[in-house]
Amino acid sequence: MQRPRPQQMQIQNKKQRTTRINIHKEQFKLNMLEIKENGVLIKNQNKINDLKQSYYGKQTQNGLLLNHIEAAYLLEMQKLNLDREKLFETANKQNPGFELKFIVYRDLRERGLFMKQGGQSADLFLYDRGKKPDKHQFKYLVHIYSEKDTIKIKNLHKKTQKAQNIRKTPLIALVDGEGDITYYQTNIYNPKGNAEQIKNTQATGTLLNERTLIWKNGEKLHKKWFYGKQFSGNTYQLSLTETQYLQNKGNLKLKNNHKKIKEKTNNPQRFQQKQKVYTDLRERGLIPKTGFKFGTDFRLYTEYTDPQNLKHAKFLVHTTNPETELQPPELSRTVRLTQNVRKRILLAITNREINYLEIERIKL
C-alpha cells in the first residue's frame, strides 16, 4: 500500500482543521441565538448593532429580542442562522395566524416600509413611506385576513372607528390562497349633498306591481328634485322606494291607497331596510337612484341642478346590517367593480342609526 506524500498529508490536515473551525463557528452562531416562546434572542453585539440600524427587534437586558415574524423574515434573507423547522413550529404555536402575518410582513418590508408587531388593536403597526420608528408615529393599523375568513360588518366598523378615534388609518390586508395580498383602506364617512328638500308639491298616482305611475306633478317631481323618470308621454314613473318616501312625506297621494307597497316586494324586510337608507340619504341632501346595473342598492348623486346638467354619481351604496358577514371574494369583487367605473363604495350599516363605511382598494 502506497503511503501518502507529506504534501498531501498537509493539505488533508488543513482541510480537516478548516472543517472543524467552520463547525465551531456555526455552533458559536447558534449559541448566540436562542429561540424562545416570545421570539428569538440575539446576544451577539455586532449583530445587534446591525439589526437595530434597520429597526428590528426590541432591546432587553439579555440582548435584542426579535419577534417570530421578524426572525422568520431575517432567516429568509439569510441574515440569521436558525433551525427553520423549530422556529416556524414555535411561532405557529405561539402566534395564531403566524403564516399570514409573515406573508404580509415580508411584503411590506420588501416595499421599503417599517412596522412593529401589533397588539389587541391590530396585527401590525405600519409606518408611512419614508417614516422611521425612532422619529415618527406609525400611521396604519393593519388587520390581516385570509380569503377563507368571514368579515363581520360590525367588527369592521368597530375597528375603523377605534383607529380613527386615535387618528390612525385602518388597513385590511387580504391574503389569497397563493399568498398574494390586496390592501384595502376603510373610513367612516359622513355623506352630504346639495339637493333641495321637496316642498309645496302634491302629486297623485296609481300603484302598479313594480312602479307607480304619476298623473299629476310628475314632471315637476322629476325636473326639480330628480324623482322618477319619464314613462310614456307626459306620464312619469316612480320606483317603489321613491313611492314610499314621498307618501311618507305627504307629497304623494295614491288612488289605490289600500294596497301596501311592501307587499309588492319579494323581500319586505329587505325593502324596509333599503327604505330606511333611502330616507336617510334624501334627508342629507343626496339623491339615491337604483344601483342595479352596478350590483348595488343605490347609485348616489351628491350634486343636482337639473336632469340636463346631471353629473356622474360619485358613490355606490350597499345596504347591510351589523350582523352581515362579508366574504372576502365578495369584498374584492364589489370594490374592484366600483373603482373600475370610477366610483366609491359605501356600506350603509342600518341599526338604530345608520353609519356609512367606505372601503377603498389602495396601493402602498
CB 141 within 8 A of CB 159: yes
Residue type, 89: E
User: Torsions phi, psi of 89, nearest 5?
Assistant: -65, -40
DSSP string, 219-263: HHHHHHH--SEEEETTEEEE-HHHHHHHHHHT-EEETTTTS-GGG
Length of the chain: 364
Beta bridge partners of 348: 319, 356
Closest-CA residue to 331 (of 360, 292, 302, 299): 360
Alpha carbon of residue 302 to chain centroid: 24
Q: Are 288 and 298 in contact (CB under 8 A)?
A: yes
> CA torsion sign, 149 to 329 to 140 to 128?
positive
- Kindly list the catalytic residues: 301, 312, 343
CB 345 within 8 A of CB 191: no
Give residue 299's identity as a one-letter amino acid code. R
Specify which residues 72 forms β-bridges with. none
